[in-house]
Chain A
Amino acid sequence: MIINSRFFNRSELIGFVALAALLFVILPLSLDVFRLNLVAKYLTYAFVGIGLVLCWGYGGILSLGQGVFFGLGGYCMAMFLKLEASSPENTKIQSTPGIPDFMDWNQITSLPLFWQPFHSLTLTILAIILVPGLFALIIGTAMFKRRVGGTYFAIITQAVAAILTILIVGQQGYTGGINGMTDLRTLKGWDIRPDHAKVMLYFFEVFLLFGCILLAQFIRLTKLGRILVAMREQEDRVRFSGYSVANFKIFAFCMAAIFAAIGGAMFALNVGFMSPSFVGIVPSIEMVIYTAVGGRMSIFGAVWGSLLVNFAKTGLSESFPQLWLFGLGGLFIAVVLAFPNGLSGIWADHVQPRIDRLMTWRKPKPAKAWTDSSVADGAPAE
């Protein structure tokens, strides 16, 4: 009997090492700071993708509103940075110094109450995790406890994304409106804009990303990971095995929300601004396609998908802007029709077997654990 108690199996280990080599060594050595910063931006979507692998790939819960959580995390981070950039010295030309510039433009004369906690970095970090987590908990509880799922849930999450975007754009005085929060400068006095800071932030983000990968892999390997798979296939059987299906869905959805929020916070740090255009329906569904391209069942795939699709997007929309939407639309259709498991599925079905064949060419495979007699025993007699 093979009971796999190792944290990674062989091919996962190869994937892990390859990704670590790429992100820690190859890309930093071969790209200039501008391109490396672009990679950092793309990788923020990988956080979202890892969450979607757990929630959608494993749990079968498709959320089309991950931009909401990405945005909440990003705005929490941006609010902290914005407050630091709006010190009274920096804003002494405003009619009310010490508040963010967009508030001043909108005739707001004092800092709103919900902005106050973002003076503290500790509270900000807590908020980045807790605000999206609690929000997901509320939505998840309301929906899953009443057995709402599938397409219905997907559309509701999309509606939530629409609501939040309209709200952010509409409440310009509190949120910076359509322009978002720009001109973010320092983190605890440390300037985040120069090149060396961007490189540092890149490495910080990659470390966090690997932390999230390991956490997701841990969850996947526990019984909870297997229950998620079981739930996707036979929800009723899980229920009648004594589990509260709703609680497991809520957990998966909250985890996905928190991963997305971490990605959003990293976005604000690395890119230096946050705006509603990363919150709404369109970015949310694009985040799903990054995951789908990488492979909805593969944690590493989510990272590769985010990188590759975004490189393609940048490349194509720089040179042939009109082609990009055709390409993206075609990608949606192709992934769904032809490659439901994305790149990682192609790798596992077509590349891996060939490598295995090359590797095992010299030493023949051991015989299977069960023998012919047990097959005959179990097969229907008729």
Chain B
Amino acid sequence: MFGDYSIGDLGSIFVMQGFAGLILFSVYVLMALGLAIIFGQMGVINMAHGEFMILGAYVTWLTSSAFQHYLPALFPGYFFLAMVLAFMASGALGMLVEWGLIRHLYKRPLDTLLATWGLSLILQQTYRSVFGAREVGVELPQWMLGSKQITDTIEVPINGIFVMCLTVLITIVVAYVMYKSRWGRQVRAVVQNRIMAGAVGINTEKVDRYTFGLGCGIAGVAGSAFTMIGSTGPTSGQLYIVDTFLVVVFGGAASLIGTIASAFSISQTQSTLEFFMSGSMAKVLTLLAIVGILMLRPQGLFALKVRK
């Protein structure tokens, strides 16, 4: 398939597709961060994670529409407010779900999987009833459109760069919160020994609730980023949950760098392959490669050796 292109062309194609894959990479990283935090903390796989992302996307769409109607002057900056609102909406819903559902199911991971799947169906139908079945698209402000010419053959979309910078920033903040802050120490204490953590005065229930909320909140931010690559519909999130979980396990659960590296390699593989074949075959090949590698190395790319 590479035969028809010169080396120089191929180089440009890889770079261009690489930058085109940046938004997908950002969505994967943000989704995977949230999923990994929740999975690492409570051993819960949140199958409704995609719906939390879509909630963020809808909030972003609502914000942008509101700015367009009421504050057109401030429209270029709507995205920053939208992100904060998306985080808060998804996070709040996440805490509610943890309280109403998840906390009754700790230690039953397979059942949690089914229950959160049920939740995802309910959320999808709610979105359909509230926002309609038609997909909605967000209008981007002028400064995010267009692209930057680097060489004759290479140009880079501005929104891609912007979202990626944002992702890096959020990742750093999350890393700081999880590894350096007092709250992060509490979270890790609960992960290592729930009973002892409770005994030394950590409110484990509260830690669980806020962790779940944080994970869902980050998914909401991922939803904001998502509005730039696709239109938002009630079932848009469902397509991402399996991909995102593969990102998490491929990177080796509980490894921040692993998650980022695997999100990067997966999104880049897919984006590059898309240039050479249909989108669906690119996806099949990417997923097959991941599943194949996971069968050979189930612990993922980065994993610690621990006594079980």
Contacts and interface: CB of A to CB of B under 8 A. Distances in A.
B287 interface: yes
A210 to B, nearest CB: 28
Interface SS, A side: helix
Given A329-B118, A329-B120, A163 B113 contact: no
Nearest to B121: A329
B111 interface: yes
B114 A288 contact: yes
Interface string A151-185: 11011101110110011011000000000000000
B121 A170 contact: no
A9 interface: no
A151 B117 contact: no
A292 B118 CA distance: 12
B60 to A, nearest CB: 24
B121 A150 contact: no
Residue from B105, B109, B117, B281 with most neighbouring chain A CB atoms (10 Å): B117
A331 interface: yes
Contacts of B128: 322, 325
A226 to B, nearest CB: 21
A142 interface: yes
A332 B290 contact: no
A285 B109 contact: no
A346 interface: no
B280 interface: yes
A88 interface: no
Nearest to A143: B295
Interface string B279-297: 0110110011011001110
A151 B291 contact: no
Contacts of A52: none
B117 A170 contact: no
A77 interface: no
Nearest to A338: B104
Nearest to A147: B298
A6 interface: no
Interface size class of B (residues with CB under 8 A): 35 or more
A292 B245 CA distance: 24
B53 interface: no
Nearest to A161: B242
A146 B45 CA distance: 21
Contacts of B124: 325
Contacts of A62: 110, 113
Contacts of A64: 113
B245 A155 contact: yes
A378 B67 CA distance: 75
B278 interface: yes
A328 B298 contact: no
B250 to A, nearest CB: 11
Interface in A60-92: 60, 62, 64
Contacts of A143: 295, 298
Given A155-B45, A288-B114, A333 B125 contact: no
Residue from B43, B108, B298 with most neighbouring chain A CB atoms (10 Å): B298
B10 interface: no
B115 interface: yes
A216 to B, nearest CB: 21
Contact of A156 (B110, B113, B291, B296): B291
Contacts of A282: 238
A9 to B, nearest CB: 28
Interface in A270-298: 281-282, 285, 288-289, 292
B195 interface: no
B249 A154 contact: no
Given A152-B298, A154-B110, A169 B242 contact: no
B109 A337 contact: no
B129 interface: yes
A47 to B, nearest CB: 20
A330 B129 CA distance: 16
Contact of B115 (A60, A159, A336): A336
Contacts of A337: 101, 104-105, 115
Residue from B108, B121, B125 with most neighbouring chain A CB atoms (10 Å): B121
Contacts of B291: 156, 159-160, 163
B163 to A, nearest CB: 25
A62 B249 CA distance: 18
B13 to A, nearest CB: 22
A292 B121 CA distance: 17
A336 B45 contact: no
A290 to B, nearest CB: 12
Interface in B91-129: 101, 104-105, 108-115, 117-122, 124-125, 128-129
B284 A167 contact: yes
A60 B281 CA distance: 34
B125 A292 contact: no
Interface of A: 60, 62, 64, 139, 142-143, 146-148, 150-152, 154-156, 158-160, 162-163, 166-167, 169-170, 281-282, 285, 288-289, 292, 322, 325-326, 328-333, 335-337, 340
User: Lowest 4 A-B CB distances belong to which pairs?
Assistant: A332-B118, A329-B121, A329-B122, A325-B125
Interface of B: 43, 45, 101, 104-105, 108-115, 117-122, 124-125, 128-129, 238, 242, 245-246, 249, 278, 280-281, 283-284, 287-288, 290-291, 294-296, 298
